[in-house]
Structure 1
Amino acid sequence: MNIFALFTDHVRDAVRSLGSDGIAIAETALDRVVVEAPRDSSHGDLATNAAMVLSKDAGLKPRDLAEKIVARLAVLPDVAKVDIAGPGFINLTLQPEVWPKVLKAVVAEGEGFGHTAVGAKTKVNVEYVSANPTGPMHVGHCRGAVFGDALANLLAAAGYDVTREYYINDAGAQVQVLGRSAYLRYREALGETVTIPEGLYPGDYLKPVGQALAAKYGQSLHNVPEEEWLPICRDVAIEAMMEEIRGDLAALNVRHKVFFSERSLQAPTDKVRAVIETLRAKGDVYEGVLERPKGADAEDWEERQQTLFRSTDFGDDVDRPLMKSDGSYTYFASDIAYHKDKADRGFLDQIDVWGADHGGYVKRMQAALKAISGGTAALDVKLVQLVRLFRGGEPVRMSKRSGDFVTLREVVDEVGRDVVRFMMLFRKNDAPLDFDLAKVLEQSKDNPVFYVQYAHARCRSILRNAHEAMPDLDLTPAALASAAVESLDDAGETAIIQRLAQYPRMIEAAAQAHEPHRVAFYLYELAADFHAQWNRGKDSPHLRFIIENDRKTTTARLALVQGIVTVLKSGLAILGVEAVEEMR
């Protein structure tokens, strides 16, 4: 039961009925109507923007339109009161008997509660992580991995058809550097003393790659030209790094459906060239000279003819080069071909999760996809800010294994997957994150992951204790769904039910905004509501969840506990966090 969807239909029906007053509003305009919880609970249970967003269509002032809508909503049997606030916002207070119906629905629907069909099976491609296969994943990659995975879970819960994709950057200069670094480790494995020069990858993680090359090729790569050993060392190193990356991601419970190779864009068919020529035929590519960038030294700037994409025609700041001076493609050209490939696979809704240092790349990529798809495909880029790692307030900077960064696996091994995932999501993706390895393990209200998991464990403990106290009581969700929950009239109990009622609307809104952190925030608020009610029961025995001489009240409150369990477990699953049965 989605109380917000139900009343959205009621509001839209009220607007449709205005036709009898000569006020005709197009059906498509009704999509702008939203019903949500008011920010201030004293304003009522629900609020709608209908009069504000439809006033121009109706040819009325918002408040005048609101009065007409209110007259129709006031007669609904579930409505106790309707008010107009400010210039035309409409607030509704529902009859008390609505909330027991909601709780029954939560318990009866179980794991399906909150999952919606708003996505209508629309295909969405979420590309995330996509770290260069040049070494183990570091803590910065961790945040993007968790965010992308939770976003994919969230979209699936909202009814979208989601594909999780990883773009392997296995072409270009950085993998050539990887190949040369692996070659040095190969020579080291053969017994040489090597020094890793600046510009190559110094970490110990390439030593096993060198050993594998030595075991397979012996001395055969030692005295041959670079053009012979480099492709071999590069490919072996890429394969080893991707295997390690998959393992690192699995430690976070992140698993992609598609791993797309950048090299496949140029062989066996040169898709990059084809994209450039397609854009050229449309007049979106030309040979020209870029203006000197602002702030660039005139003596260092060389004007030269380049193959340029007219990205300014599609909202970008300047036109962008597609070819380098040596005739090879820019990263941008390959990225256009890649995103076109996604569109050709049916993904007209694309989401990319990038590091914050790629912020300047967003406009050009959105412009390119708009051009190459004729405006049919859309790209939303979610930028993930840096993670600063601390231990007890002191910065953590180095890893013995990587040489210059802390690896993802080291963090997961130290604090656990659930802690990493929840804390990476308990802040908006575009805000910097301070992650303290000591504080995230504290068992206190100030530690959100503990606080939420403890709420679930405590609820499960209540249900176990009830079974021990009343072994003949049927505590299955099906039985609890028929409990006499109408008796739950305490303000704290009602507040919890109202919070549970918000869950489906929160899932829809978070999915449409591509903001999984909303789920984490919601779960913390629900946990706080529950813990507060638990503490009230400690002070006032008549509010306890189990009252052994009052089976009716106990059963009703156990239904409430089951509702909390249902929603906490569902929300934690979206975040990829375990709903633990007990805390140790």
Structure 2
Amino acid sequence: MNLFADIRSLVITSLDAMVAEGALPEGLSFANVAVEPPRDALHGDMATNAAMVLAKPAKSNPRAIAQALADKLAADPWIDSVDVAGPGFINLRLNASVWTGLVETILDQDTFGQSTLGAGKKVNVEYVSANPTGPMHVGHTRGAVFGDALASLLDYAGYDVTREYYINDGGGQVDTLARSVFERYREANGLSPEIAEGLYPGDYLVPVGEALKEKYGDSLIGKPESEWLADFRVFSTDAMMDMIRDDLKMLGVEMDNFFSEKALYDTGLIESAIAELKDKGLIYRGTLEPPKGQMPEDWEPREQTLFKSTEHGDDVDRAIQKSDGAWTYFAPDIAYHYDKVQRGFDEIIDIFGADHGGYVKRMKAAVSALSDGKVACDIKLVQLVKLFKDGKEFKMSKRAGTFVTLRDVVEQVGADVTRFVMLTRKNDASLDFDFDKVLEQSKDNPVFYVQYAHARVQSVLRKAADAGVDLTNTPKFDDPAEITLARKLADWPRQVEIAAKSHEPHRIAFYLYELASDFHALWNKGNDKPELRFLQDDLAASSAKIALPRAVAVVISAGLGILGVTPAQEMR
């Protein structure tokens, strides 16, 4: 049940009737007709812009359209009253039976809020994709939470979602990892490690060195790189990916697929992707302009193989092959996305760190070119996280070397708190993570406030069970605060679709906070008005009063499920 969609259907039916009667011209598009909550709740339960958006194409006065539409809507049993305001806005008040029916529906169905918006379209959400050179840090944490919540949101909205991790194991950073591990291998054999500048210094590599000692003993000590580098690359990458999988599991993140960059090399995938672009006339030999801004001293024009990305929305064409024949970093990225297109995804979503802003247009151009514009590509940038404790910026993790790890954060506050807080800001806004505030039990802490609402309902239900209250799904409303809460529940399916369309899972966290606020307001009102309390002396009255908070718990649980947070049964 999507009450806003149902009322919009009622509006569209009324508009169709007006066209049939000649009150509106034929051929009008109703695509921009919306039904939304009014800006001021005092104006009604819902509002429609129908008259405003149709006035110009209908060549009619919006107020006249609004009044004619209002007359038709007022005849429907769901509508209690209709008010035409200003130049032609229409405010609606729904019959009380609609709100009781809404609560009954929430309690009767397990699928309230779920949507068919996605219609089974295949979506690939690629996120985290941290270099396999060490444990995940706090920046990766935010990207992991955002990507995982977005994947869950799209799944909830009816998409066929694949969660994917791209293992960057084809670049020079993995050689650096292997050399760093070799020093830990030497250390395991009783020698002093020589952690030169540019190597990874973290103690997390010590166990890897010890494992290599168990495998090779001291047989590789003093041997040239050519005898151990390749094996150490594979061994070290596997060890780091095991660590990353453990970190993700600690956060409640599980991937459907891990895609190795190495699989793109020496398999013909890069060549096939570039050949596809060449067949489309998008590959040529040319010379790029110098970088904007200050001219580098060592810059000189070189003829390279270029992708004509400007034909697909990019600012400049991009090099895919250097003058010496080596592929640029962009070439395997093209091939990877070519593979996604070949796998039949209808939409591709990449979650990148804030430092990857320069990749957005080029990757969108590549996907557009490879799919002839048939596959949508959205790239979300996740901004940095600043950690605070005791009012000061917080840094720790000697084990990691120079950064705070995901494990550091989760061990201090838990996965649920970490995930919820990471979604209290839009992905492209910076986030301050204060260890003290995220554990604070107050209204100012959104994760506590939402969890407290759910825990309060569970407490009421336990007491109701002890008192022998028979739970039915028929609510009884006696106060505007109850209607306010029901209105917020009605907005849940709409918010799911808005968040899914915009790829913004933080909207779910915001909605849950607002729902919790309305619930707590009703709870507090019951302190002054006993007749509003969920538990009454009369068992039948209790049964009717408990229906609304039960519905609240259903929606909070669903919303927290999208965010990957376990609903609290009690607060401690």
TM-score band, normalised by the shorter chain? over 0.9
Bigger mean CA offset, 220-229 vs 382-391: 220-229
Aligned twin of 2:358: 360
Q: 1: CA distance between counterparts of 2:54 and 2:151?
A: 33
Aligned twin of 1:521: 510
Aligned twin of 1:134: 133
Aligned twin of 1:108: 108
Aligned twin of 2:47: 47
Q: 1: CA distance between counterparts of 2:357 and 2:82?
A: 45
Q: 2: CA distance between counterparts of 1:25 and 1:328?
A: 61
Q: 1: CA distance between counterparts of 2:3 and 2:565?
A: 27
Q: 2: CA distance between counterparts of 1:515 and 1:39?
A: 22
Match of 1:474 among 470, 475, 479: 470
Query: Could you say if the C-alpha distance between residues 60 and 341 of structure 1 is closer, same or farther in structure 2, counting changes exceeding 3 Å?
Result: farther
Aligned twin of 2:435: 437
Aligned twin of 2:540: 552
Q: Secondary structure at the match of 2:113?
A: coil
Query: Could you say if the C-alpha distance between residues 298 and 530 of structure 1 is closer, same or farther in structure 2, counting changes exceeding 3 Å?
Result: closer
Q: 1: CA distance between counterparts of 2:182 and 2:117?
A: 52
- 1:388–1:395 Cα contact (<8 Å) kept: yes
Residue type of the partner of 1:97?
Answer: S
Residue type of the partner of 2:311?
Answer: D
- 1:309–1:322 Cα contact (<8 Å) kept: yes
Aligned twin of 2:482: 493
Aligned twin of 1:226: 225
Q: Secondary structure at the match of 1:422?
A: helix
Aligned twin of 2:35: 35
Q: 2: CA distance between counterparts of 1:44 and 1:557?
A: 24
Query: Could you say if the C-alpha distance between residues 274 and 26 of structure 1 is closer, same or farther in structure 2, counting changes exceeding 3 Å?
Result: farther
Q: 2: CA distance between counterparts of 1:441 and 1:457?
A: 16
Percent identity (aligned): 57
Q: Secondary structure at the match of 2:30?
A: helix
- 2:167–2:261 Cα contact (<8 Å) kept: yes
Post-superposition CA distance 1:33-80 (Å, at most 9, x none)? 332212321222112233344445544455454444333323222112
1:154-165 → structure 2 map (5 Å cutoff)? 154-165=153-164
Q: 2: CA distance between counterparts of 1:56 and 1:206?
A: 68
Match of 2:495 among 495, 506, 510: 506
Residue type of the partner of 1:161?
Answer: D
Post-superposition CA distance 1:205-234 (Å, at most 9, x none)? 111111111110123323433233111111
Aligned twin of 2:281: 283
Q: Does 1:180 align with 2:179?
A: yes
- 2:470–2:539 Cα contact (<8 Å) kept: no
Q: Secondary structure at the match of 1:97?
A: helix
Post-superposition CA distance 1:107-152 (Å, at most 9, x none)? 111x311111111111111111111101000011000101111111
Post-superposition offset of 1:316: 1.0
Query: Could you say if the C-alpha distance between residues 283 and 258 of structure 1 is closer, same or farther in structure 2, counting changes exceeding 3 Å?
Result: same
Structural RMSD (CA): 1.7
Query: Could you say if the C-alpha distance between residues 353 and 187 of structure 1 is closer, same or farther in structure 2, counting changes exceeding 3 Å?
Result: same
Q: Secondary structure at the match of 2:228?
A: helix
Q: 1: CA distance between counterparts of 2:403 and 2:559?
A: 32
Number of equivalent positions = 571
Residue type of the partner of 1:551?
Answer: L
Residue type of the partner of 2:98?
Answer: V
Post-superposition offset of 1:515: 0.9
Q: 2: CA distance between counterparts of 1:570 and 1:74?
A: 34
Aligned twin of 1:235: 234
Q: 2: CA distance between counterparts of 1:33 and 1:171?
A: 50
1:342-381 → structure 2 map (5 Å cutoff)? 342-381=340-379
Q: Secondary structure at the match of 2:321?
A: coil
- 1:25–1:57 Cα contact (<8 Å) kept: no
Q: 1: CA distance between counterparts of 2:65 and 2:501?
A: 28
Q: Secondary structure at the match of 2:165?
A: strand
Q: Does 1:407 align with 2:405?
A: yes
Q: Secondary structure at the match of 1:32?
A: coil
Bigger mean CA offset, 551-560 vs 373-382: 551-560
Q: Secondary structure at the match of 2:164?
A: strand
Residue type of the partner of 2:495?
Answer: M
Post-superposition offset of 1:387: 0.4
- 1:389–1:436 Cα contact (<8 Å) kept: yes
Residue type of the partner of 1:547?
Answer: Q
Residue type of the partner of 1:474?
Answer: D
Query: Could you say if the C-alpha distance between residues 224 and 31 of structure 1 is closer, same or farther in structure 2, counting changes exceeding 3 Å?
Result: farther
Aligned twin of 2:91: 91
- 1:15–1:25 Cα contact (<8 Å) kept: no
Post-superposition offset of 1:505: 1.0
- 2:341–2:370 Cα contact (<8 Å) kept: no
Bigger mean CA offset, 325-334 vs 210-219: 325-334
Aligned twin of 2:385: 387
- 1:421–1:575 Cα contact (<8 Å) kept: yes
Residue type of the partner of 1:195?
Answer: E
Residue type of the partner of 2:390?
Answer: G
**What's the TM-score once normalised by structure 1's chain length?**
0.94
Q: Secondary structure at the match of 2:213?
A: helix
Residue type of the partner of 1:566?
Answer: V
**What's the TM-score once normalised by structure 2's chain length?**
0.96
Post-superposition offset of 1:489: 2.3
- 2:353–2:382 Cα contact (<8 Å) kept: yes
- 2:470–2:540 Cα contact (<8 Å) kept: no
Residue type of the partner of 1:583?
Answer: M
